[in-house]
Amino acid sequence: MKNNILARITMLPVMTAAICLTTACGEDEDIPAIDNSGTGNVNPANVIVADPTANAHLANLLSCRFELDDDGLLTGIYGIEYDIDENGEEVPSETQSLWYEYSNGTATIRIEEPPYDGTVQTICQYQIGPNGFANSMVQVYTGDGTREYWRYFYDSEGHLIKINESGDECVLRYEGGNLASYTDYSDEEDEVTFSYDGTPNTIGYMPYILDPEGFESSFREVWYAYLAGILGRPSAELPVSAHIDYHGRFSNEDMTARYVYERETGLLSNILWEE
């Protein structure tokens, strides 16, 4: 029987408080965010890819290999590509594109992008709060020195419930330990709602991070940090579907995604989008 990754995730003691967060669209929402100001350290028990089942599945899903240190912290991600040799056989090759470093209440991710010539294009430095998750991040683009500032908020169970990216905000709502909806207030208030059927999330999957319909690119820094246990815990269950509401901005204003899982292993095999 596979171990449920949620059983491996422990939370450090935190001080809870009801904080009213103001969204970018000017509406106030009472979001039960904890006070995560102050300094802490990444908790190895929260590292998503430290779980063997989640590690194997996410590595396959993202075509990569995760490297962890002796403490169980994620230290590197290697992209895997396949070439065809003279015998027609696939030969894998690895290229490291992400480096993770931890020191004195901070976690730093260095990101190298194509053509992978040894130049780090982006550096993200996260400040870790008392609950073991990041409360803020400074993102530096090494080419021109541009900086962006991010802030993160959590509920008492360690779920990421709000992201502020240099003034643009996203709000995530949870019900029963599952991500129920996600609203991007920086993009015409597009809203995504998720449904579940009770299947436990044993593979460390988080819908808003790995969906192919735009989330992977716009939330790149989010899922890089999520995999390392820096940005909150995953949903308790695996999603069955996701529905996007564009609020009439397009003729095909609604889209629905159906998640397809392998019958024998329970691993995610495909996401089918319907208009």
Band (pLDDT 50/70/90 cuts) for residue 32 is confident
Q: 110-119, 172-181, 217-226, 245-254: which has the highest mean pLDDT? A: 172-181
Closest listed residue to residue 241, CA positions, set 201, 274, 202: 274
pTM, to two decimals: 0.79
Closest listed residue to residue 205, CA positions, set 251, 271, 252, 273: 271
Q: Give the chain's domain count.
A: 1
E strands, the chain, in order:
19-22, 28-31, 64-68, 74-84, 90-103, 106-112, 120-128, 134-141, 147-154, 160-165, 168-175, 178-184, 190-200, 237-245, 254-261, 268-274
Task: Encode pLDDT of 46-91 as tens digits.
Answer: 999 999 999 998 888 888 999 999 999 999 999 998 888 888 888 8
Q: Strands 106-112 and 147-154, how do they pair?
A: unpaired
3-state secondary structure of 215: helix
Task: Encode pLDDT of 139-184 as tens digits.
Answer: 998 888 889 999 999 999 999 999 888 888 888 999 999 999 988 7
Q: What percent of the chain has pLDDT over 70?
A: 79
List the domain range (segments joined by +) for residue 206.
5-274
Closest listed residue to residue 134, CA positions, set 226, 23, 69: 226
- Summary mean pLDDT of the chain: 79
- pLDDT, greater one: 47 or 16: 47
- pLDDT, greater one: 128 or 191: 128
Residue 66: which CATH number?
Answer: 2.40.160.190
- pLDDT, greater one: 252 or 64: 64
| Lowest-pLDDT range of 44-53, 122-131, 135-144, 206-215 | 206-215
3-state secondary structure of 210: helix
- pLDDT of 270 reads 82
Q: CA–CA separation, 79 vs 92, rounded Å?
A: 10
- pLDDT, greater one: 28 or 84: 84
Q: Strands 106-112 and 120-128, how do they pair?
A: antiparallel
Band (pLDDT 50/70/90 cuts) for residue 187 is low
* Residue 79 and residue 265 in contact, taking contact as beta carbons nearer than 8 Å: no
228: pLDDT strictly greater than 60? yes
- pLDDT of 85 reads 84
Arithmetic mean of pLDDT, 236-245: 89
122: pLDDT strictly greater than 70? yes
Q: CA–CA separation, 133 vs 153, rounded Å?
A: 9
User: Tokens 């106030």 — which residue?
Assistant: 28
